[in-house]
Amino acid sequence: MQIEKNYVNQLVLKRVHRMGNSRNGNPRSIVAKFHEFKDREYVRKQAKTLKETRFYVNEQYPKGDSRQKGESLHPR
């Protein structure tokens, strides 16, 4: 990602942890909770610079949340 070093040094994260167990030698996913919404959005927007790499950024939703399945939150 192309995030400026000064910006990275100012990011405040509430919680960061890895998900699950390692399988087949693949690295585990990392979950990060940002202190500031604007920081989360900045990192999410910078994710497009990762297109030709093996890294990606996704949002994590609660299990029962319909956004996880790509469904609409509001009926039409």
Residue with tokens 């030709």: 52
Strands 30-34 and 13-18: antiparallel
pLDDT at 35: 94
**Which amino acid is located at 28 in the chain?**
R
pTM above 0.85, yes or no: no
Name the more confident of 9 and 1: 9
Kindly state the percentage of the chain with pLDDT values over 90: 20
Q: Are 19 and 29 in contact (CB under 8 A)?
A: yes
Contacts of 30 (CB under 8 A, 6+ apart): 16, 17, 18, 19
Handedness of CA 25, 31, 17, 55 (dihedral sign): positive
